[in-house]
Chains A and B, each alone.
Chain A
Amino acid sequence: MKILVTITEARSVDTIFEIDGLEIDDRYLSSDLNEWDAYALEEAVQRTEDEDGEVVAVTIGPEEVEGTIRQALAKGADRAIRVWDEQLAALDLLDPLTKAAVLGSVVDAEQPDLVFTGVQSGDDAFGATPIALASTLGWAWGTVVNDLRLEASVAHVHRELEGNLEELTDVERPAVLSIQTGINEPRHASLRDITEAQQADIAVRDLADLSLDGGALTSSIDQITLYEPERESEATIYEGSPEETAAELATVIEETGVLQ
């Protein structure tokens, strides 16, 4: 069985940061393997470990994201593909439909049995790429999967809904499944795995390699502002030493009357 896993490098902003135009400078950003993708990857690795299977990790991004795709290799992916070129670099915003078109052409080329993705990426949190990808491929899909049992032609999934409720769904294969955190325990890579992954080859593909017309990838969505939200809250923030702030909080708590 061959499973393709989509991997995103998710960025987070430091405690103190500055916005410059439509960007936050790199020095205020840290990057890591997207939390949800780590679970998707682990699920794929576990599904293929016992048999002669293969896990192919795919990412869209410039050379700088290779550290993240190497993390996926260290954590058990057999191969890695990175898609990038000037036309993608020129796009203002990689929206879910664009990502789906690019990933769809990788799926066409690789012909996996299943595609696993994370439910969302932690930074832009669109949460829409898996479904758009399934739709592009004409495949079935299951989203927010927190339990999975695979049979030859069907995936039995639990989808996590709101309010401690799960939906039990049978999804025909091939399918795109978006994986929710908590479904498994993602492994830590060993030092040896990390060293090996540093040396592994990463296949770089451009849109032409994937027979995609870059001109068709224009998005009508443009980012026009980026700003720190005005804090709506009227929160009283206490300052001082931990003893001082704790004393203030203790007073607030006493005033609520919850202490008997």
Chain B
Amino acid sequence: MTVLVVAEHRRGELRDPSFEALTAGRELADATDGELHVGVVGGDVERYAERLNREGVDAVHTVARGEEFNHDVTTQAITQLVEAVEPTVLLAPDTVNGLDFLPAVAERLDLPLVTDVIDIEYDEGLTVTRELYEGKVETTLSIDAPRAAITVRPGSWPQAAGTGDAEIKAFDATVDESAVRSTVTGFQEIGGEVDVAEADVLVAVGRGIESEDNLDIVRELADVLGATLAASRPVIDNGWLPADRQVGQSGKTVSPELYIAVGISGTAQHVSGVRAETFVAINDDPNAPIFDVADYGVVDDLFEVVPALTERLKRS
């Protein structure tokens, strides 16, 4: 089979999930002695093509059109590229922008679509694995169709390395301007006073804390540790802490020496932002996916454990 991966870039750089999708694509192509093709739309496509020519890549198709990602242009270009390359599987990273065009391509070409996939197998047929219910359950799906579209979750495959001997070809997509109905006018960085990415010790609090008033118990823990307070998204959405404290996909990526997650379930969008040397989780649900990434954990009520921990640390 032929696999076509769509690479992603932003502000002049290819993004890491593109190289992970290449690995997923190569594994899938290998299962049938097939070919791995890559498509990249917009920006400095020639420079991108050189970088995308990693080991195992057979062809890179470049579409020079626009600087930044525009979903209308990408949808049209990739739809035409799929018609030309005829891949069995069309892969894109499960990122904000991957999810912003692939469903439209799938709809137009009538391809079955599965998103946020964490494993792909090909053995007489295509099966994919994804999570349900905030990561507490996994499911495998079989896709019985000549062709399919899949987005792959960032962090689930290593990045493709090395250099390949891909053929680099300019693909001449015809863009119907009247169907380009959105225009990217700029970017805005969300900054704040506190940079959680700089902190060595983070106490991160999630929805389990239940109310703003209860934040005092994690504040006290953070104080004795000299830690910075961080949070998962619901705490920010509720306005209990400012936006600069958010850790995760849309917030900050942090790499502290110690990360203590309190009342956080551990969805992919949260844990993708944490690379801690020592990861501690306190959560009363033994099935919470946070325990998949934690080094040390306590399955108990945070309202009991956190004050006890604070008291204990005060004494040491």
Closest chain-A Cβ to B27's Cβ sits at a distance in Å of: 19
Verify A123–B293 contact, CB threshold 8 A. Answer: no
Verify A24–B103 contact, CB threshold 8 A. Answer: no
User: Known: A127-B115, A235-B296. Contact between A254 and B316, CB under 8 A?
Assistant: yes
B12 within 8 A of A: no
Verify B101–A12 contact, CB threshold 8 A. Answer: no
Cβ proximity bits A225-254 to B, threshold 8 Å, 1 near / 0 not: 111110111111111001101111110111
- Partner among A95, A229, A242, A258 whose Cβ is within 8 Å of the Cβ of B112: A95
A33 within 8 A of B: no
Verify A235–B139 contact, CB threshold 8 A. Answer: no
Verify A225–B140 contact, CB threshold 8 A. Answer: yes
For residue B298, which residues in chain A have a CB less than 8 angstroms away from its CB? 237-238, 245-246, 248-249
User: Known: A161-B97, A249-B309. Contact between A166 and B188, CB under 8 A?
Assistant: yes
Q: How far is the CA of A249 from the CA of B300 in the complex (A)?
A: 13
A1 within 8 A of B: no
Q: In the complex, what residue of chain B is closest to A173 when comparing beta carbons?
A: B181
Cβ proximity bits A45-69 to B, threshold 8 Å, 1 near / 0 not: 0000000000000000000000000
Verify B182–A226 contact, CB threshold 8 A. Answer: no
User: Known: A182-B237, A256-B257, A258-B225. Contact between A221 and B291, CB under 8 A?
Assistant: no
**Chain B contacts with A in 128-145, Cβ cutoff 8 A:** 131-145
For residue A129, which residues in chain B have a CB less than 8 angstroms away from its CB? 103
A201 within 8 A of B: no
Cβ proximity bits B275-316 to A, threshold 8 Å, 1 near / 0 not: 001101110111101011111111111001100110111001
For residue B251, which residues in chain A have a CB less than 8 angstroms away from its CB? 163-164
B95 within 8 A of A: yes
Verify A242–B305 contact, CB threshold 8 A. Answer: yes
Verify B182–A169 contact, CB threshold 8 A. Answer: yes
Stretch at the interface among A107-115, A135-143, A192-200, A206-214: A135-143
Q: In the complex, what residue of chain A is closest to B94 when comparing beta carbons?
A: A127
Verify A132–B106 contact, CB threshold 8 A. Answer: yes
- Partner among A126, A171, A182 whose Cβ is within 8 Å of the Cβ of B181: A171
Label chain B's interface by main secondary structure: mixed
Q: How far is the CA of A132 from the CA of B108 in the complex (A)?
A: 9
Verify B258–A140 contact, CB threshold 8 A. Answer: no
Verify A123–B182 contact, CB threshold 8 A. Answer: no
A118 within 8 A of B: no
B190 within 8 A of A: yes
Verify A258–B258 contact, CB threshold 8 A. Answer: yes
Q: How many interface residues does B have (CB within 8 Å)? A: 96
Verify A142–B182 contact, CB threshold 8 A. Answer: yes
For residue B234, which residues in chain A have a CB less than 8 angstroms away from its CB? 181
B201 within 8 A of A: yes
For residue B135, which residues in chain A have a CB less than 8 angstroms away from its CB? 229
Q: How far is the CA of A134 from the CA of B299 in the complex (A)?
A: 43
Counting chain A residues whose Cβ lies within 8 A of the other chain, the interface size class is 35 or more
B184 within 8 A of A: yes
Q: In the complex, what residue of chain A is closest to B236 when comparing beta carbons?
A: A182
For residue B246, which residues in chain A have a CB less than 8 angstroms away from its CB? 164
Q: How far is the CA of A126 from the CA of B112 in the complex (A)?
A: 13
B161 within 8 A of A: no
Verify A221–B142 contact, CB threshold 8 A. Answer: yes
Closest chain-B Cβ to A233's Cβ sits at a distance in Å of: 5
Interface centre among B114, B116, B141 (most CB of A within 10 A): B141
For residue A162, which residues in chain B have a CB less than 8 angstroms away from its CB? 95-96, 249-250
Closest chain-A Cβ to B81's Cβ sits at a distance in Å of: 17
- Partner among B112, B287, B312 whose Cβ is within 8 Å of the Cβ of A247: B312
User: Known: A220-B145, A253-B280, A253-B313. Contact between A182 and B187, CB under 8 A?
Assistant: no
User: Known: A222-B144, A237-B298, A238-B298. Contact between A168 and B96, CB under 8 A?
Assistant: no
**Chain A contacts with B in 172-190, Cβ cutoff 8 A:** 172, 175, 181-182, 185
For residue B244, which residues in chain A have a CB less than 8 angstroms away from its CB? 164
Verify A127–B313 contact, CB threshold 8 A. Answer: no
- Partner among B99, B187, B300 whose Cβ is within 8 Å of the Cβ of A165: B187
Closest chain-A Cβ to B281's Cβ sits at a distance in Å of: 8
Q: How far is the CA of A166 from the CA of B294 in the complex (A)?
A: 30
For residue A166, which residues in chain B have a CB less than 8 angstroms away from its CB? 187-190
For residue A242, which residues in chain B have a CB less than 8 angstroms away from its CB? 300-301, 304-305, 308
For residue A253, which residues in chain B have a CB less than 8 angstroms away from its CB? 225, 258, 280, 313
Some 27 contacts from A to B, beta carbons below 8 A apart, are A95-B112, A100-B103, A123-B132, A127-B99, A131-B107, A132-B103, A132-B113, A144-B96, A164-B251, A164-B252, A181-B233, A220-B112, A221-B141, A222-B142, A223-B140, A224-B142, A226-B138, A229-B137, A235-B295, A235-B297, A236-B297, A246-B308, A246-B309, A249-B282, A253-B280, A258-B200, A258-B258
- Which A-B residue pairs are the 6 nearest by beta carbons? A246-B308, A140-B181, A182-B237, A242-B304, A131-B103, A128-B103
Listed in ascending order, the chain B residues whose CB lies under 8 Å from chain A are 10, 71-72, 75, 95-97, 99-104, 106-108, 112-116, 127, 131-145, 181-191, 200-201, 225-226, 233-234, 236-237, 239, 243-244, 246, 249-253, 257-258, 277-278, 280-282, 284-287, 289, 291-301, 304-305, 308-309, 311-313, 316
